[in-house]
């Protein structure tokens, strides 16, 4: 299989194998938090299949919901028709949406994955500016940010590795230092806040939106930061007539120990993007939750010279199977208090990881709930990968971000598996350092 894969498949980020010297695991099936390869080897899925499978794999309720939906309606476009799972899921998401200082989120626009939700939010924000005042062609974004890999999402990213190659193609953005960037020193939150104030003071009238990942920048290497930054972002967006976008693609659906990371700050945005865990990781679906005032700007009014519309929508938008999976996921999350389980798992992981904090080979442990980055001291090249490979030898599947090893397990992970996860990581770090 690996030879056939190498001969025929172009993987995201090209072939891992060519730059790690490693061969991909050929995943055959999965059960709960376990991935099983074609040779029957089991790996604890320590990163929830790229941060998605919040309830683990093969949850009977989600499987049953998809099967039942499949028997009724597999697909029907959302452009001009609607369907009951799409309506019910919108209602459920609106009921769950974060509350706080800022507008209520009252409308749901569906997209296919995290990047396409971000893309839709950016287009909504720009078009909102043209329909409510004047064209505001700039976006404010954080350094190190990752919001996806379509061109709009790349433009509001701040990670040179992903963005440098496309710079000539990108939207007009203004980068602000990340409040989570340790290189800024102990005053990083204040420095970033001052920079945001200064940027908005200078360019505010040209800015259609500020986009941030609230509380913790995941793909940047799990860079957590203070809630105050989000309160300031809300205040500055309001003061300058810009929209505030929270990208909760990674942080949403209880990842951080609350349903939304926004809840840690008590702030709501005008647009919230979510994806990944929305279906429990079973099927691709994402959404933009929008405030009523944003939606209203897209309604045709008497006296308009042309009909208003949002010029955007994809073929598989709100696919009924995906909506049914998401509804089942949200039902289970509510019935089993998965948010509470996530908070407890986060606390248990923090306790188990504590001894690693004084390991000479660990530079820093960063965590918000079940989003965890363990930054290891470099030993030669690609230390993060080496640690993940050593963990893989111990039956634990992890993926690094540079030299930060990410732990983002299913929220329902049991105690024994949590022990295995942390023990394998600790042993892997020591093995690589030895
Ligand atoms: N936004 C954030 C915050 C993300 O973490 C990601 C994916 N890691 C994306 C957007 C893009 O999502 P997708 O890969 O589903 O397009």
The answer to whether the beta carbons of residues 262 and 269 sit under 8 Å apart is: yes
**CB-facing half-sphere around the CA of 394: CA atoms within 13 A:** 22
- Structure letter (DSSP) for residue 257: S
Nearby residues of 26 by Cβ (< 8 Å), 6 or more positions away: 1, 2, 5, 37, 38
250 lines ligand 1 (CB under 6 A): yes
- Predicted pLDDT of residue 160: 82
**CB-facing half-sphere around the CA of 78: CA atoms within 13 A:** 23
- Predicted pLDDT of residue 157: 96
Dist. CA 358–CA 429, nearest whole Å = 13
Domain at 65-335: CATH code: 3.40.640.10
Q: Rounded to the nearest whole angstrom, what is the distance from the C-alpha of residue 50 to the centroid of ligand 1?
A: 9
Q: Rounded to the nearest whole angstrom, what is the distance from the C-alpha of residue 250 to the centroid of ligand 1?
A: 6
114 lines ligand 1 (CB under 6 A): yes
* pTM of the predicted structure, to 2 decimals: 0.97
Cα dihedral sign for 98, 101, 103, 109?
A: negative
Domain at 2-59+338-433: CATH code: 3.90.1150.10
Beta strand pairing call for 243-247 and 362-368: unpaired
The answer to whether the beta carbons of residues 85 and 317 sit under 8 Å apart is: no
Q: How far apart are the first and last CA of the chain?
A: 33
147 lines ligand 1 (CB under 6 A): yes
146 known ligand binder: yes
Helix (H, G, I), strand (E, B) or coil at 168: helix
Dist. CA 295–CA 277, nearest whole Å = 25
Q: Give nearest CA residue, ligand 1 atom 1.
A: 147
CATH fold match for the domains 2-59+338-433 and 65-335: no
User: 143 to each of 48, 181, 204, 218, 233, how far by Cα in Å?
Assistant: 26, 8, 18, 13, 15
**CB-facing half-sphere around the CA of 364: CA atoms within 13 A:** 13
| Residue 118 alpha carbon, nearest atom of ligand 1 | 10
- Predicted pLDDT of residue 22: 67
Cα dihedral sign for 254, 68, 49, 393?
A: positive
The domains of the chain are located at: 2-59+338-433, 65-335
- Predicted pLDDT of residue 163: 84
The answer to whether the beta carbons of residues 6 and 22 sit under 8 Å apart is: no
Testing ligand 1's pocket by substitution, the residue of 13, 110, 114 carrying the most ligand atoms inside 8 A of its CB is 114
- Predicted pLDDT of residue 313: 93
Dist. CA 148–CA 211, nearest whole Å = 13
| Residue 276 alpha carbon, nearest atom of ligand 1 | 15
Q: Which residues of the chain have pLDDT under 70?
A: 14-22
| Residue 148 alpha carbon, nearest atom of ligand 1 | 11
Q: Rounded to the nearest whole angstrom, what is the distance from the C-alpha of residue 115 to the centroid of ligand 1?
A: 6
179 lines ligand 1 (CB under 6 A): no
- Predicted pLDDT of residue 52: 97
282 known ligand binder: no
- Predicted pLDDT of residue 12: 84
Residue 72's CB is within 10 A of a number of other CB atoms, namely 12
- Predicted pLDDT of residue 315: 94
98 lines ligand 1 (CB under 6 A): no
């Amino acid at each position: 299989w690996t030879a056939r894969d190498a001969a025929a498949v172009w993987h995201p980020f090209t072939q891992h194998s060519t730059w790690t010297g490693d061969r991909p695991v050929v995943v055959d099936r999965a059960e709960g938090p376990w991935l099983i390869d074609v040779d029957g080897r089991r790996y604890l899925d320590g990163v929830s299949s790229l941060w998605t499978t919040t309830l683990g794999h093969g949850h009977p309720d989600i499987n049953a919901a998809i099967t039942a939906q499949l028997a009724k309606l597999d697909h029907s476009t959302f452009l001009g028709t609607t369907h009951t799972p799409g309506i019910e899921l919108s209602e459920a998401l609106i009921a769950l949406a974060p509350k706080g200082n800022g507008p209520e989120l009252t409308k749901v626009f569906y997209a296919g994955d995290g990047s396409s939700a971000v893309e839709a939010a950016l287009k909504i924000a720009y078009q909102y500016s043209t329909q409510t005042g004047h064209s505001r062609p700039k976006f404010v974004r954080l350094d190190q940010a990752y919001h996806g890999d379509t061109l709009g999402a790349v433009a509001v990213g701040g990670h040179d590795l992903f963005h440098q190659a496309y710079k000539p193609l990108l939207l007009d953005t203004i980068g602000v230092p990340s409040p989570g960037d340790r290189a800024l020193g102990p005053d990083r939150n204040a420095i970033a806040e001052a920079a945001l104030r200064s940027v908005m003071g200078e360019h505010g009238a040209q800015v259609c939106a500020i986009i941030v990942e609230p509380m913790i920048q995941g793909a940047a290497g799990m860079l957590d930061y203070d809630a105050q930054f989000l309160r300031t972002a809300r205040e500055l967006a309001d003061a300058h007539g810009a929209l505030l976008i929270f990208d909760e693609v990674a942080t949403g659906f209880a990842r951080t120990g609350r349903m939304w990371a926004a809840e840690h700050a008590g702030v709501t945005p005008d647009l919230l993007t979510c994806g990944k865990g929305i279906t429990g990781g079973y099927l691709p679906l994402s959404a933009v939750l929008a405030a009523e005032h944003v939606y209203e700007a897209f309604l045709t009014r008497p006296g308009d010279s042309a009909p208003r519309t949002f010029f955007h929508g994809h073929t598989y938008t709100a696919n009924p199977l995906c909506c049914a999976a998401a509804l089942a996921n949200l039902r289970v999350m509510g019935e089993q208090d998965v948010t509470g389980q996530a908070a407890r798992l986060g606390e248990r992981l923090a306790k188990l990881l504590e001894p690693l904090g004084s390991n000479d080979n660990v530079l820093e442990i960063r965590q918000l709930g079940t989003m965890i980055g363990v930054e290891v001291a470099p030993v030669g090249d690609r230390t993060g990968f080496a640690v993940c490979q050593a963990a893989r030898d111990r039956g634990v599947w992890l993926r690094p971000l540079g030299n930060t090893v990410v732990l983002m397990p299913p929220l329902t992970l049991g105690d024994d598996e949590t022990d295995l996860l942390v023990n394998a990581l600790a042993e892997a770090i020591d093995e690589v350092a030895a």
